[in-house]
Amino acid sequence: MKQIPAQPYPYPLPDRGVALICIDFQRDFVEPGGFGESLGNDVTPLGQTIEPTRRVLDAFRRAGRPVIHTREGHRADLADLYDSKRDRGNPSLKIGEPGPMGRLLVRGEPGHQIVEALAPAPGEPVIDKSGKDAFYGTDLDVILHARGITHLVFTGVTTEVCVQSTMREANDRGYECLLLADCTASYFPDFYRVTLEEITAQGGIVGWVATSGDLIAQL
């Protein structure tokens, strides 16, 4: 059992049973012209996570450890989209409406695709979800149990929404969760900072936080 320097104390990294979770590195969230920008956000901070995440992704692949990707999006007919989600925030463009990268947050559209630098490799599962939590309405838990996964390393966007929602649910399901601070970001710096503090509070009530470099050194 290796020990990764982390907050609130070292993260135990076993030789087996560890998977990397890459959450929602979609063009709609990370690139200009997507859903994130339609809400009035500056997407620049999210783009800064791509390179450190790519290094972690490469390290997991070299080590032969499992990698799982997620994408938030909806059916083309929008049958799985609640009105409350579509209308909340009064965005300039709503989910399902055409934008510079196709219909926003709709599966199969260009904006729904994962950015090229972090694109899934053959054999890496991609979880398509309609909500924030990657366990909600998906087979993620089944996939993890089938592969004997007990420890999850999290990367992705945004920190306080889809990443935190999934990490909290994973914690409740008994997984040991580590979030890589330089591989996650928010449109709002204060939300990013507070979320990391919440995760590690009270002795790691949700999980651990570390840096990509410290993890890669042990892989």
For the annotated catalytic residues, the residue numbers are 24, 129, 162
Q: Under 8 Å CB-to-CB from 130, ≥6 apart: which residues?
A: 72, 73, 74, 75, 80, 81, 136, 137
Q: Tell the burial category of 22 from Cβ atoms under 10 Å away from its Cβ (0-12, 13-18, 19+).
A: buried
Q: Are 69 and 124 in contact (CB under 8 A)?
A: yes
Q: Which amino acid is at 42?
A: D
Residue 125 phi, psi dihedral angles, 5° rounding: -65, 145
d(CA 143, CA 175): 13
Q: Which residues contact 149 (CB under 8 A, 6 or more apart)?
A: 17, 18, 19, 66, 175
CA 120, 122, 127: angle at the middle one, nearest 5? 50
